[in-house]
Amino acid sequence: MSTPGRFTQPAYETSPASGNPRPGTFYALGALVTGMFFLIFLRLLWFQVSPEFAEWRTFARTNDREALVAERLPVPRGWILDREGRVLAGSRRAYQLDIAPDALRRPGEVVTVLAGILDLDPKTLWERLAPPEDDAVLPAAVAIAYDVTPEQREALLQWWRRWRAQGENSPIDPTRNDVFRFTPVMLRVYPESDLAPNVLGLVNLSATASETRWEGHYGVEGYYDALLQQSWVQVPFYAPYDLTPEEIALPEPVPGLVLTLDRDIQYMAERILDDARETYDARRGVILIMDPRTGALLAVAMSPRPKLDDPDSVLAFLREFQGEGWDWAIHHAYEPGSVIKPIILAIALDSGAIEPDFVYHDTGVEEPCGPQSVVYNWDYQGHGEQTLVGCLALSLNTCFANIAMQIPRGTLLRYLEAFGFGDYTGVDLDVEMRGFFSVANCVDQSRVGFGHAISVTPLQLAAAEAVLANGGYLVKPHLIQGQVLNGRYSPAPYPQVVRQVIRPEVARQVTDFLAQAMATESFENAVVEGYTLAGKTGTAYNDKIPNDLLDATMVGWGPVDDPRFLVVVWLEDPKNGQWASMTAAPTFRRVVQRLVVMMGIPPEGQADEDIAQTRP
């Protein structure tokens, strides 16, 4: 019984069998509904602010707008910058244009407009869009252009609206909304055109059943494809035309790579190499410029080379050099000849096989393995008593075959492997060759002494010679200086020392010998006034190619007291010069003459501030 004057709430508590709800059920249901609305609100808010979703620019709607749909749109592929932050490869927004040919009533009028706006051949357009003479079924859509600019797109849309307003007199079906289809795309752009295409690499459109994306091949595009990879965003919009924007708000920031490459040094090396190839009528060539202390590559020049912004140029290059690789600095291995002699000398000194005061009596002939293996000098002459400097200056094959034979075969094998021969350098470029060498028998051991029975890529040669320049250490060559992820720059983990190969005093001794040799008449074409350099030329005939093609190489570094650069020049089959001293050496000199100014390295005895005033 209730107490008088007090309100008693009815009891909702019933037995489960009665089917009446308990009060807790209402509370739970209310909380659930409220929570669902709150989650929907948060989801809508997330759509507005999330960087994973692009926003469409607002356009005026027409009265026959189609339904809201979702479109997958590409975001830019990562940037590639040089060491100073200058763009080498980027992305640009464009559109692919597809046309429905069965929606064209008077194709000739449409072709005339398309050809004028898109700068295309009218005849080619007509062949693609004209109705067939037989009863063949027209395709649902025909791809017309893959690089339509926003301005071209807007001009075509204006024509579409004008034609649509003409009704039955229109050259297109005015009831069709799919006459033109503009699909947003991201294109790779190269502001410098033909600068360092071998380093940058290629991208091509890769399509599967589940996705379409730009895929990197060769160079840094291939090696760092996962980091640079283009992704996609889902974008809601009204189809098909007015609401397609010129600008797309995309997830930011875009990832990027900062390379060790210097745009200006790369340009200089490429132009000098182009001139050398023309002057000496060489088939092709490479110039490498590396910091021997860190392995940072400042330039990797190649000639000839394609223009990455010209697909026809790329295809022509690939056809001409089919099977010969994309970047000859890492894709071409060859017998380098006498440029290997300083390394053989370093091995002999470091292992104790010979002493620095070694003297060789040169008769012009050496028979290291008996009469069946005769070694001659390049001039087929004997030169009498020669010190190690003399053997280097005169590039005596006989002397270095003799030195190679004084090194125990197992010791020579271990040292050559320690210098990196027969192995990958580990450079961050896609698809690298590793070369080979053999000291399996007496003949091969003697031939390795003067750069035969061994093959190297230009980059492998640079890495090995850098051991002599930097005090005895094999450092990993590299192209990445840092990367940008999520808007933050992170330096790359370089330099990386692979191993110590020889003692510092041996490296310095060989460098001094080379510097003395370069001061002789034999190297007059390589000398740069005001700078003490160490270097060696090498000429080797390629017996794998008919007509006795030769490889001309020069490698050198300096200044010898504090090496800041190492340069490798390789020319294949220079017809206007029999020896590397006549072709590769003067090319080396031209590079160094420009390089010391660009790097601000003063001549000996001149202050840094003096040379700074001479920079261009």
- The answer to whether residue 443 sits within a structural domain is yes
Give the CATH number of the domain where residue 216 resides.
3.90.1310.10
Q: Which domain holds residue 249?
A: 68-259
Q: Residue 92 has what pLDDT?
A: 86
- The answer to whether residue 56 sits within a structural domain is no
- The answer to whether residue 220 sits within a structural domain is yes
Average pLDDT over residues 509-531: 94
**117, 185: one domain:** yes
- The percentage of the chain sitting over the pLDDT mark of 70, rounded to a whole number, equals 80
- The answer to whether residue 49 sits within a structural domain is no
Q: Residue 212 has what pLDDT?
A: 62
Looking only at the bridges linking them, the beta strands covering 436-437 and 480-485 are: unpaired
Q: Which residue has the higher pLDDT, 133 or 364?
A: 364
Q: CA-CA distance, 218 to 430, in Å (whole number)? A: 5
* pLDDT tier, 248 (very low <50, low <70, confident <90, very high otherwise): very low
**255, 270: one domain:** no
Q: CA-CA distance, 102 to 178, in Å (whole number)? A: 10
Q: Residue 35 has what pLDDT?
A: 57
Q: Share the mean pLDDT of the chain.
A: 84
Q: Can you tell me whether residue 409 is helix, strand or coil?
A: helix
**238, 271: one domain:** no
Token duo for residue 449: 């002494």
Q: Which residue has the higher pLDDT, 499 or 609?
A: 499
Residues counted in the chain: 616
Over the stretch 438-473, which tens digit does the pLDDT of each residue have? 999 999 999 999 999 999 999 999 999 999 999 999
Over the stretch 30-89, which tens digit does the pLDDT of each residue have? 555 455 555 545 444 444 444 433 333 333 333 344 444 455 666 788 999 999 999 999
Q: Which of 259, 285, 313 is a domain's end point?
A: 259
pLDDT at 236 over 80: no
Average pLDDT over residues 319-346: 96
Per-residue DSSP letter, 492: -
**484, 531: one domain:** yes
Question: Shortest CA distance to 599 belongs to which of 282, 268, 369?
Answer: 268
Average pLDDT over residues 428-434: 94
Q: Residue 93 has what pLDDT?
A: 83
**470, 550: one domain:** yes
Over the stretch 539-550, which tens digit does the pLDDT of each residue have? 998 665 555 679
Give the CATH number of the domain where residue 286 resides.
3.40.710.10
Q: At what angle do helices 341-351 and 504-518 cross, to 10 degrees?
A: 140
Q: Which of 209, 235, 259 is a domain's end point?
A: 259
**211, 301: one domain:** no
Q: CA-CA distance, 178 to 164, in Å (whole number)? A: 12
Q: Residue 209 has what pLDDT?
A: 53
pLDDT at 414 over 50: yes
**154, 216: one domain:** yes
The pTM assigned to this predicted structure is 0.81
Spatial CB neighbours of 538, under 8 Å, sequence gap ≥ 6: 336, 337, 338, 339, 340, 341, 451, 551, 552, 553, 554, 555, 580
- Among 239-243, 382-386, 604-608, the range scoring the smallest mean pLDDT is 239-243
- 352 backbone dihedrals φ, ψ, rounded to 5°: 85, 10
**211, 271: one domain:** no
Task: Report which secondary-structure segment, H or E, holds 321.
Answer: none
Q: Which of 221, 238, 259 is a domain's end point?
A: 259
Question: Shortest CA distance to 221 belongs to which of 88, 112, 93?
Answer: 88
Q: Residue 428 has what pLDDT?
A: 96
Number of H helices, E strands in the chain: 19, 24
pLDDT at 1 over 70: no
Q: Residue 49 has what pLDDT?
A: 42
Q: Residue 141 has what pLDDT?
A: 85
Question: Shortest CA distance to 497 belongs to which of 518, 467, 473, 526?
Answer: 473
Over the stretch 176-216, which tens digit does the pLDDT of each residue have? 888 898 888 888 899 998 999 999 999 987 766 556 677 89
* pLDDT tier, 116 (very low <50, low <70, confident <90, very high otherwise): very high
- The answer to whether residue 32 sits within a structural domain is no
**282, 249: one domain:** no
Q: How many structural domains does the chain have?
A: 2
- The answer to whether residue 278 sits within a structural domain is yes
- The answer to whether residue 16 sits within a structural domain is no
Asked if 465 contacts 339 with a C-beta cutoff of 8 angstroms, the reply is yes
pLDDT at 537 over 50: yes
**183, 234: one domain:** yes
pLDDT at 255 over 90: no
- The answer to whether residue 42 sits within a structural domain is no
Q: Residue 235 has what pLDDT?
A: 53
Over the stretch 556-584, which tens digit does the pLDDT of each residue have? 999 999 999 999 999 999 999 989 999 99
Q: CA-CA distance, 404 to 451, in Å (whole number)? A: 11
**421, 554: one domain:** yes
Average pLDDT over residues 601-615: 67
**252, 290: one domain:** no
Q: CA-CA distance, 604 to 512, in Å (whole number)? A: 16
